[in-house]
């Protein structure tokens, strides 16, 4: 069966799983302006931006022959819970004979989860399935690990684009792993690639936390390569949103983060708003210089976060910039706001340093 999936996170790992299970993999192309235009054309007008991007990528994949789309579901009031059923209905109305397989919580509907898993395993034995799953999970963790490391290095790179070039090579290496032994060997090569990046000693690098809607925070092609732009402005972008952390939190909810959010929001709306609020508090405790909150225009859970941000910013004495993105938003205005925000953070840091040195009291 020809299988595809959303372009989100370490897609090479997902492709490896389906390949090991005997499916023909249609790799989803990295989203582009064409992807967005396709999704916008066939989506309800007021559905959120991530749905339009994902639908566009499905349309590109089914045009290449994809017959089965595998994705995750959602809970609560967030519209992500409807993405699977709605995208399948739209695709069928457009004449595509395609099925969308949505994996929701294993705990809430185990029989349904198991039936869908049988379709996915493609009559492979349990040991073979577990072996493929083990390799996939290790690939996810490896790819996320190296993406985090490169984000730390990127503001210090002496040759612009060196980290991005290394990331492309690392993805090729890790994605080519056929078993765990190969993966370990290729990870050593990846370590060497990162160690070889020439770095400039700098003491003025800012630390900025990224929070917000999971898809837009993770998908660089749709957030205008925010992490790379921040590095070019002398800021290290740190996000906790990775597929590896999402998988971990599905099994072990981040209760310590929820407790940090309780003062501002005690109940879940259906997205990741409580985690975002709690993570902002955690970033403050870790000494971050500022926060950037990325959200799709009209996203209800992140609108809740946005309404709480002014209180958070004032009580924590922490600058927070909200960026609302959709298919109609150009980047020029956001770029100006981003540059002004980084300049604000830099000035605050300089003033705080001068006050600490006794030359000027911060806030006077």
What is the pLDDT of the chain when averaged over all its residues? 89
pLDDT value, residue 246: 85
pTM (whole model) above 0.85 = yes
Is 2-124 a CATH 1.10.8 domain?
no
The lowest-confidence range among 184-193, 264-273, 338-347 is 264-273
pLDDT value, residue 126: 84
pLDDT reading at 91 higher than 70: yes
pLDDT digits (tens, 9 = 90+) for 308-337: 999 999 999 999 999 999 888 777 888 899
pLDDT reading at 282 higher than 70: yes
pLDDT reading at 182 higher than 60: yes
pLDDT reading at 105 higher than 80: no
pLDDT digits (tens, 9 = 90+) for 133-177: 999 999 999 999 999 999 999 999 999 999 999 999 999 999 999
Helix (H, G, I), strand (E, B) or coil at 100: strand
Phi and psi, residue 271, nearest 5°: -105, -135
Is the dihedral angle over the CA atoms 134, 140, 142, 145 positive or is it negative?
A: negative
Is 205-364 a CATH 3.30.9.10 domain?
no
pLDDT digits (tens, 9 = 90+) for 15-59: 999 999 999 999 998 999 999 999 999 998 888 899 999 999 999
Q: DSSP per residue over 137-198, as a string?
A: HHHHHHHHHHHHHHHHHGGGBSSTTHHHHHHHHHHHHHHT--SHHHHHHHHHHHHHHHHTS-
């Amino acid at each position: 069966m020809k299988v595809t999936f959303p372009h989100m996170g370490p897609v090479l790992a997902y492709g490896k799983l389906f390949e090991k299970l005997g499916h023909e993999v249609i790799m989803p192309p990295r989203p582009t302006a064409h992807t967005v235009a396709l999704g916008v054309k066939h989506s309800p007008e007021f559905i959120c931006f991530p749905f339009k991007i994902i639908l566009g990528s499905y349309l590109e994949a089914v045009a290449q022959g994809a017959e089965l789309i595998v994705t995750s579901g959602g809970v609560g009031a967030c519209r992500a819970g409807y993405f699977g059923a709605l995208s399948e209905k739209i695709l069928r109305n457009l004449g595509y004979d395609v099925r969308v397989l949505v994996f929701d919580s294993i705990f809430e509907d185990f029989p349904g989860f198991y039936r869908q898993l049988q379709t996915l395993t493609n009559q492979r034995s349990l040991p073979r399935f577990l072996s493929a799953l083990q390799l996939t999970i290790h690939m996810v963790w490896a790819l996320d690990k190296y993406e985090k490391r490169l984000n730390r290095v990127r503001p210090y790179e002496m040759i612009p684009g060196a980290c991005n070039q290394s990331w492309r090579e690392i993805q090729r290496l890790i994605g080519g792993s056929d078993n765990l032994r190969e993966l370990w060997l290729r990870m050593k090569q990846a370590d060497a690639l990162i160690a070889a990046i020439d770095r400039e000693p700098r003491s003025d690098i800012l630390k900025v936390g990224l929070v917000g809607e999971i898809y837009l925070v993770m998908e660089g092609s749709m957030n205008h390569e925010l992490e790379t732009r921040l590095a070019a402005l002398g800021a290290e972008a740190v996000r906790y949103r990775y597929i590896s952390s999402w998988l971990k939190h599905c099994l072990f909810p981040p209760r310590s983060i929820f407790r940090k959010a309780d003062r501002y929001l005690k109940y879940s709306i259906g997205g990741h708003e409580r985690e975002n609020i709690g993570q902002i508090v955690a970033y403050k405790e870790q000494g971050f210089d500022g926060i950037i909150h990325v959200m799709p225009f009209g996203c209800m859970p992140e609108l809740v976060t946005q309404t709480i941000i002014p209180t958070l910013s004032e009580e924590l004495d922490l600058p927070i910039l909200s960026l609302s993105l959709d298919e109609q938003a150009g980047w020029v205005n956001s770029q100006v706001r981003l540059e002004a925000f980084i300049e604000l953070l830099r000035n605050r840091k300089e003033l705080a340093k001068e006050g600490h040195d006794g030359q000027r009291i911060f806030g006077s």
